[in-house]
């Protein structure tokens, strides 16, 4: 077994924490004009990564925005979280991605998923496909992206894509290619991520009507999803960085009372996108990787416990929570 890299792992052999902020450039954030400043603020706070989602609604175009950020920031890594595969052909995406990597001097993290908002595909007149088709399409796209971003000449004859002697250019700054991130909560997506990804975003699963399963927010179910990745990845698992995104952060001196309030809200049907498939306790809420209630030190301790129990180390924060979470970063920096 190889020795953990000291630049990415601590003395205990655990992968060091990284922290990801993000933005959409929507009206709530001040629009596209203030978008660059948002990323610069994230860099000043000490976030490691700034990520942009990929939707056709009220937000900036992610690839054009990353091109701008490559020149407006200096050290923060630039990510997509995540691109909808059905929106772009992988041959075109590979060129855009390696161009951003060159312009940013090697700071790109390319996040990509199968796409999940059918309404957006329908409005744009883009074929959505069945869940099985979207997963198979993403499998092919990831295979092509991996090779083109390495600068290889690719021939590929698949169900969805045909590539004939195309060489990937420009060559990226990062070698052998920029890291690929894939997110998922269901077994098939997690297995696909384990096959291809350098970074896996461990998300909650969803019901057929698109609601998030409440049971998947527990630390126990999260650990089960990580075990599924471990089994699917085999020897690759040690090279994979695991990410999750904290949905709600509340800075408080009474985390138990806050957890009780959260439970009452869930039981009364808020937020409406949660499927009540289990009854949780206050302890379940306080241990959940996806909720962070308490003082800055208590939240830092909670994140340490999440890493201990799941090996997840790359913490994502929603745009509206970037300021609230920032004081936690120096507490955990370097651990």
pLDDT, averaged per 10 consecutive residues of the chain (335 residues), comes to 68 93 88 89 98 93 96 98 95 98 98 90 93 95 98 98 98 97 92 97 79 88 96 95 96 97 87 80 96 98 97 95 97 95
Give the per-residue pLDDT at 93. Answer: 98
Instruction: Tell me if 2 is assigned to some domain.
Output: no
Look at residue 118 in the predicted model and tell me its pLDDT.
Answer: 87
How many domains are there within the chain?
A: 1
Is the residue at 1 inside a domain? no
Work out the burial of residue 243: count CB atoms within 10 Å of its CB; fewer than 13 is exposed, 13-18 middle, 19 or more buried. buried
47 inside domain: yes
CATH of the domain at 211: 3.20.20.30
Does residue 232 lie within any of the structural domains? Answer: yes
Distances (CA, A) of 87 to 62, 92, 134, 270: 12, 11, 12, 32
φ, ψ dihedrals at 113, nearest 5° = -140, 180
Q: Is residue 287 part of a domain?
A: yes
Tell me if the pTM is above 0.85.
yes
**Is 9 contained in some domain?**
no
What pLDDT score does 2 carry? 47
Residue 6: predicted pLDDT: 67
For residue 210, what pLDDT is reported? Answer: 64
In whole angstroms, what is the distance from residue 113 CA to residue 128 CA? 13
Flag whether 202 is in a domain. Answer: yes
pLDDT value at residue 31: 81
**Which domain covers residue 119, as residue numbers?**
18-332
Q: How many CA atoms, within 13 angstroms, populate the side-chain half-sphere of residue 331?
A: 14
- Look at residues 216, 212, 291 and name the one whose alpha carbon lies nearest to residue 246: 291
How far apart, in whole angstroms, are the C-alpha atoms of residue 197 and residue 207? 24
User: Domain for residue 300, yes or no?
Assistant: yes
């Amino acid at each position: 077994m190889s020795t953990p890299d000291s630049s990415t792992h601590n003395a205990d052999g655990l992968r060091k924490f990284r922290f990801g902020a993000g933005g959409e450039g929507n009206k709530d954030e001040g629009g596209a004009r203030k978008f660059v400043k948002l990323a610069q603020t994230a860099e000043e706070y000490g976030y490691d990564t700034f990520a942009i989602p990929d939707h056709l609604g009220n937000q900036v175009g992610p690839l054009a925005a990353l091109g701008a950020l490559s020149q407006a920031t200096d050290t923060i890594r630039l990510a997509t979280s995540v691109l909808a595969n059905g929106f772009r052909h992988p041959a075109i995406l590979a060129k855009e991605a390696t161009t951003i990597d060159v312009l940013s001097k090697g700071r790109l993290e390319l996040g990509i998923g199968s796409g999940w908002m059918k309404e957006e595909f329908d409005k744009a007149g883009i074929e959505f496909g069945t869940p099985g088709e979207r997963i198979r399409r993403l499998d092919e796209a990831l295979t092509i992206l991996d090779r083109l971003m390495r600068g290889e000449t690719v021939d590929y004859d698949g169900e969805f894509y045909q590539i004939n002697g195309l060489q990937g250019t420009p060559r990226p700054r990062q070698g052998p290619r920029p890291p690929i991130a894939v997110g998922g909560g269901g077994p098939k997506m997690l297995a696909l991520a384990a096959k291809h990804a350098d970074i896996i975003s461990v998300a909650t699963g969803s019901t057929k009507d698109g609601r998030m399963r409440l049971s998947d927010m527990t630390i126990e179910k999260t650990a089960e999803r990580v075990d599924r990745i471990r089994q699917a990845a085999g020897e690759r698992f040690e090279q994979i960085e695991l990410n999750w995104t904290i949905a709600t952060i509340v800075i408080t001196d009474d985390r138990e009372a806050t957890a009780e309030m959260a439970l009452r809200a869930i039981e009364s049907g808020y937020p409406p996108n949660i499927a009540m498939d289990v009854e949780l306790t206050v302890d379940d809420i306080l241990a959940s990787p996806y909720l962070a209630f308490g003082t800055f030190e208590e939240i830092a301790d909670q994140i340490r416990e999440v890493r201990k129990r799941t090996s997840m180390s790359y913490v994502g924060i929603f745009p509206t929570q970037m300021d609230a979470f920032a004081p936690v970063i120096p507490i955990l920096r370097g651990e």
